[in-house]
Amino acid sequence: MARSPSGESVLTRAVRIFEAFGPDRSVLSLSELSRRADLPLATTARLVDELTRHGLLSRDELRRVCVGTRMWELAERASPVLGLRQAALQSMHDLQAVVGHSTQLGILDSDQVLFVERLAVPGSTPNVTRTAGRLPLHASASGLVLLAHAPADIRDRVVQGPLPGFTEATLREEHALRRALAEVRDRGFAFCPGHIHPDATGIAVPVRTRGRVVAALGLVVPNDDVAWSLIRPLQVAGLHLSRALDTAQVS
């Protein structure tokens, strides 16, 4: 594989370019991109030119750079999460219509929750999740569900930390976290009042395919006395989605 003087391959540098973009940084000037990707300006310019020729990046009328439609198309049309997402959308909408709060679907990826779909209710409870966004496993309700059902080696690695705190309520101690995980397996849901934001409660349930937990379905609702009453509708939606996945044979 061809390498730069620093020993990095072209592909590694291209990945660095794409990693510089994010939900809040979807349009970048060439110099911002060079800084965020930690690549020389000339290298960045050359890579952006070639990636733009392939449609993987594009430039707006101000010559700023953004991710190209072709990049989205190549990733999405054979997406490893497309089947799960499409099967889940109906259950998520039904749930959202009934409870009136944001719903999200997360999978376990690289010791984090990766949210593959999110239906937001604008202006409702504070909610830091985004589609294709990530959260630590120990801090979020979806993360606790995924961690509770993860292989033992992943669970042991994660509970030993680091366990960064978001609020006073975040589980930051191995023993408390292990107890919480046992409770999630036992009760069939995770209930996290104020774990990520003091005003929000995260609730999540497992989504199964042929008995195996493949995702967590979650709600973000106000941190108040009503939150408990939303566990049951969420559980119903989770069972419904699991059944739909079994029928569709999405793995």
> How many chain residues touch a second copy (CB under 8 A)?
54
Task: Verify binding: residue 228, a second copy, rule CB under 8 A.
Answer: no
81/141 with CB nearer a second copy:
81
Q: Which is nearer to a second copy, 76 or 199 (CB)?
A: 76
| Interaction of residue 32 with a second copy, rule CB under 8 A | no
Report helix, strand or coil for 249.
coil
Structure tokens at 151: 């292989």
d(CA 209, CA 86): 15
Q: Give the C-alpha separation, 4 to 24, whole Å.
A: 30
Q: Nearest Cα to 49, choosing from 57, 40, 39?
A: 57
Compute the least distance from the CB of residue 77 to a second copy, in Å: 4
Q: How far apart are the first and last CA of the chain?
A: 34
Q: Which of 33, 51, 113, 150 binds a second copy (CB under 8 A)?
A: 51
Binding to a second copy by residue 45, rule CB under 8 A? no
Give the SS3 label for residue 108.
Answer: strand
Closest distance to a second copy from the beta carbon of 89 (Å): 7
- Residue 24 sits at φ, ψ, to 5 deg, of -95, -5
Of the two residues 50 and 173, which places its CB atom closer to a second copy in the complex?
Answer: 50
Q: Which is nearer to a second copy, 71 or 159 (CB)?
A: 71
Q: Report the site for a second copy in 75-94 (rule: CB under 8 A).
A: 75-82, 86, 89-90, 93
Question: Can residue 73 be called a binding residue for a second copy (CB under 8 A)?
Answer: yes
245 part of the interface to a second copy, by CB under 8 A: no
Written as one letter, the residue type at 73 is E
Exposed/middle/buried for 205, CB within 10 Å: 0-12, 13-18, 19+? buried
Give me the helix-helix angle, 152-159 and 174-187, nearest 10°.
140
Q: Which is nearer to a second copy, 95 or 158 (CB)?
A: 95
User: Exposure string (b/e) for 3-23, b if CB count within 10 Å is 16 or more?
Assistant: eeeeebeeeebbebbeebbee
Span 144-183, contacts to a second copy by CB under 8 A: none
Does residue 62 belong to the site contacting a second copy (CB under 8 A)? no
Residues 194-223 binding a second copy (CB under 8 A) are none
Q: How far is the CB of 138 from a second copy (least distance, A)?
A: 20
Tell me if 35 contacts a second copy by CB under 8 A: no
Longest dimension (CA), the chain: 60
**3-state SS, residue 200:** strand
Q: Within 10 Å of residue 96's Cβ, how many Cβ atoms?
A: 17
List of residues contacting a second copy (CB under 8 A): 1-3, 9-12, 14-15, 18-19, 21-23, 25-26, 46, 50-51, 54-56, 58, 66-69, 71-82, 86, 89-90, 93, 107, 109-110, 114, 118-120, 130-133
